[in-house]
Structure 1
Amino acid sequence: MSSALAEHNGNNGVSADDVNTEVSSAVSATTDRGGLCQLEVNVSSAKLKEVGGIFAKGNAYVELTIDSHQPPLKTEVGKKTWTPSWNEHFTVLVTLNSVLEFKVFNHNVLKSNVLLGQNSIKLADILRENNGKLKDCGLKLDLRTEKNGTRLPAGDLYVKLNGIDLTTSELNNGIQSNSTTPANGSDNRSGTDSPASPIVAQSPNSNPTQQATARPTTPVPPTSNRPPPPPPNQNNTAGITGSIPNQSSTATNEGGNSDSQVALPDGWEERTDPYGRHYYVDHNTRTTTWERPEPLPSGWERRHDQYNRPYYVDHNTRTTTWHRPTSESIRTFQQWQERRQQNQDVRRQNYQQRYLIPSSGIQVVGRDLPPGWERRIDHNGRVYFVDHNTKTTQWEDPRTLAPLPPSWEKKVTDQGIVYFIDHSTKTTTYTDPRTGAPSFSSYQGNFDWRLAGFRQMCQDSALPGHTKIAISRNTIFEDSYNAIISLKPYDLRKRLYIMFKGEDGLDYGGLAREWFFQLSHEMLNPMYCLFEYANQNNYSLQINAASSVNPDHLKYFKFVGRVIAMALYHGKFIDNGFTLPFYKRLLNRGVSINDLEQVDPEFYNSLNWIKDNNIDECDMEMFFTADMEIFGEIKTYELKTGGSDIKVTDENKEEYINLMSHWRFTRGVEDQTKAFMEGFYEVVPLRWLEFFNEKELEMMLCGMQEIDVDDWQQNTVYKHYTKNSKQVMWFWQFVRDRKNEQRIRLLQFITGTCRVPIGGFSHLMGSNGPQKFCIEKVGKESWLPRSHTCFNRLDLPPYKSYDQLVEKLNFAIEETEGFGNE
């Protein structure tokens, strides 16, 4: 399968930063799972034997595998050297009998990576040599490679081990007990083998403390109807003072429990009180309960923080929680995720294509055109003017403009955009010196012209070089924030070079599209409390007035403003859009009562009622004030100075409605909006957007949503296929048979984004500019389809049947993520 996927299957391992960002140094080295320990591995450097000739340069990286079958952990690539220095830390879960395998590869862009050398170590041997204590334990590993059946030296690899501190008895007992279990350190807590994973979850210092404010307590058995069971003591609970017992040593079945019952979790024991009632002892927390505990679900683990508080690690999602998970809670969470995904799909479908009504231009009556000018009408009924003197055309009527000032000259770019030359200062500008407005702002009837002018301004302001941003998929929000907020605004206008850690994709534009899509999905997530949905039926976003719960929220709003402007500047799309009134405020345009209708229908209807009725007759006792509740506290704001003493009457109600409409959009979000706009305008100045309205700005950021299959098919090219090839006909049948949401996912698989650009599929952009969607015949029928998002190309093997094509395409779309080599 791995050979069949290109840009969407490049990551088969976990990068160092994926792991290290989710590890707390406060977590103890030995965990509660039977025999599992936390080990820190530092891959320092290497001295490699040169291969490929004297002028060849190495691009080496290391793969670390625990017990052979786990996904490898990969370092960054040490470029152009045979003595790379990585100094990367990995924190993994191991048993005392684990085997650590190190492989050094030479990274190649155009072909498969080459294994330079490998070596493996047995943790038990290292522990015996160091008396069970691993603290800055430096190792020099002799790398070997096999050639023609002979093992040859390939260099040296330097690593350090940290984090295990055992006594001699613990070491001997641990190695002896683990020798009877599989080397992967599996346990039978849930009735099946669940091997230890080298993926480490987040520290409770980051996630759980944000989710709960108090330590959860183990339920205490009720005392009103029956006496509680006796507390555990040292005589009958060996696990209290010694190491926490595992199930095999402490879990009993007193009282004749049936064999069909699920085994107790580690550290639990079932007992019977003097009245013959069953209760359960938790040796981990020294508590008792009447309820039989369920074993932890597959992939979960119990740990303790530095304050000895128990928390739970979900290795499946690499998250932590204070609450003990149950099958029911996990099922509820999964159902919530499914509903959230469905809501997201509905929100995506709310986007509609919007076009401006073509303007017929302004006709001046009673004056003749200047000599050499002619008035014409294009095929859309729009009026334009021809200057036969310069052999140019323009939308504006030459009779409405004054002559250019002395030393000024008007010219047109290759894209048809008017600009002006000031020969006295030897400068050029798009601003008309007669009006002070951009030259293409008069093209009100042609959105494409104004968009082309905006793109030209972005291109003219771009700086040479590129901005490199390296991020991890699992921490894309945090990594992107740290990278973007530390850069100067002018660096954000350079060409972007995005790297996903642990993946080998080359960014010709596809990775940048993927980054904008994934990052916007994360940073605009209402669960971060920065933004909220407009209402329960409108999934467009607006600023959350309660965002101040995060003391650094203004910094994050500035970051979000920068990212949104970068998407606009670089011609990329974001996952979700904002409300139209938000775009109006971004364009520095006023909002009115009509803008409230889609955001807050109830508020809108209330103001409309005031507008349509006589307030004096109703005697409503309203004043120029408004109330707002945040965190349970109600505050009163004056809409104008002294508003608490000014009563609303039928005479001044128009002013009240206008002030109240403005307050509704600004209540509690003035500072957040200011920070957002500060970050936005650092990248895209407001004057560049003066000739767009809020609907066009939304289209520029979000693109069109509905997939027009006919437009897609008409703007597709083929290599080694023709439009009449049976595989091509099957492909379009497959597309037409899918729902719109599935078509979007197919489009995202091929192009890196689910958004279609403004203008349809004919405006798809590739790494070298406009690039239509391409279907190329590649591979064998057993291969999976491959995507090249930077070139909008799908490699479609010559399948023998329609059913086979459907199976392969569905698998490629649903089961792949990441980027591989081009």
Structure 2
Amino acid sequence: MKKGTIIKSLALIVSLADDNYLPENIIVVAGEADDVKALSNITINWSTQPPTEIKLLENLTEHYSVVTIRIKSCKSHGIDTRIRGIQLSCLEERSLGFDQDFFSGNRLIRYPLLQSHSPSAIYRRSTVLQRFMWLLDSVIYYLIPSWQSSIEGCNYAEGLSFTNLESIRQLLPLLKKRMGLIDTLLKGSASDPSDRKVVYINRHTALAHRANPSASADFSNTVFVQLFEGLKPRDRSSQHLTYRWSTQNDQWWECKFISEGIIDQGGGFRDSLSDIAEELCPSDPEAPMPLPFFVRTPNQSNEDGNVNRDCYIPNPACMDFGKYEWIGQLMGACFRGKELLIISLAPYSWKRLVGESYSWSLDFATVDAAEVRIIDSLANMDRDTFLAAGRSWSMVLSDGTHVSIKVDDDGNPKPLDYDDKDEYAARVKEIRMAECDKQLKAIRTGLLKVIPEAVLGLLTWQELETRICGEPEITVEALMKNTYYNHIDEDDLRVKYFWSAVKNFSNEDRSRLLRFITGRRRLPVSIFISSGKNSPVDPLPESSTCCNTLHLPVYSDEKIAEERLRYAVYNCVSIDTDE
């Protein structure tokens, strides 16, 4: 059968003059070799009104690559048969864009959760899902409350925004009319100022501050603060910026760089956004923090093999909510326009900002995986193991602040009893997941001043991050530039196979590879390639994220090396030699 076709009707044409050559029992099966499925079993009674057209199949709902007609017996025990023709009518799966074969072979390597299901089961679920999304597309315009479709009607209500779609939020990218609706909502609330503000920035003092942040306690030398102050209204007649620029506005302000002979025609403006992002969330994990608004997540310092080692979280100790709100406005402006503000927040934070549901074990692990494992382990910990650990009613926040939950008369945390471990675990979860509530609320408030709440309700957290920060583009050249070799030569056959595979990878594959090796999604970061351990030929590769090392085993050829690497980066995130 032609790929993507569905049988509407299948019939055999016979002539009554053939008598004993007429078929009497016909079975129709679909599939190849031993993997076949019976579709119909027809027995014809030629003593009654005989048909000249024998209907075999009608109105199938899925595609079959091979359909076999088996004539099991003939009239009056004849040993031969005669068929005058076959009538076949088919529909093409235009609305689906895939068939059952789409879900077989290597296509599912990137989707490990689907690999335990048969292609036919996935196909049937896909058809139902696509039908559901078609129905949702037809009513999506009626699901948005009018008070959520404008900027003015937005109020912060984390977890309550667009609750009627929350259970299917991760399916929303499948909607065809969604992006058109989002564009309509954004255009309807766009507002371009009549003139462009000019901001004076001293990047020399900003660079000096970045090298030694402790020298300026008020952070006034940073590009962030200079720009924040420079964009404020200069007098009572001046209006505050709305940051709801249209996509046609490709330069939001003009930068005058002090002691630099630069005329800003867009490049200086974009440089200022890049400088702000670098000050908020430095790409170098060893660099000092120039600003107090974010802190490195515990995952960055815990060498425990986690895969979120490049993330930041709002600083629980910073109470400058006005600037947090401004950060949210900048994020909203980038969402609307074509500019990027690359701030590497933990997925937990992005979920909170978009209003998506979140959990302790799954989402807070992107902030502090070690703490999540310890607290979750208390539930099943035996008394002897618990007593040996000697825990107290205390904990540590992401910024390093020690918190005493229960204290004695001297103000010291009380020892934790075994019978209280469940209460302690519940309190830790509550406190840790609320440690930056106020900061996230301020950022989201700024975001909602620029983006209608209905838009956020139509997005997944991944889409919000991508629209603001962009895709983490990772080229082969950039990877090579950041790669070093330990106990293996650069011209070793294993290394050649590795780079041959990487060149065939998509950008997403390379981002996954980087995360598999280093726990980070973006460059720059050093990568070390080492020889594999004593293992059989063609095993899966191993990595040590704490030392950014990939252990390359021996592979038979380039194709197998590429298959093993791709499988590992999508399915074996926990295969880490540290664990």
Q: TM-score, normalised by structure 2?
A: 0.42
Larger radius of gyration: 1
The structure, 1 or 2, with the larger RCO (C-alpha pairs under 8 Å, 6+ apart) is 2
- Structure with a larger share of its residues in strand: 1
- Structure with a larger share of its residues in helix: 2
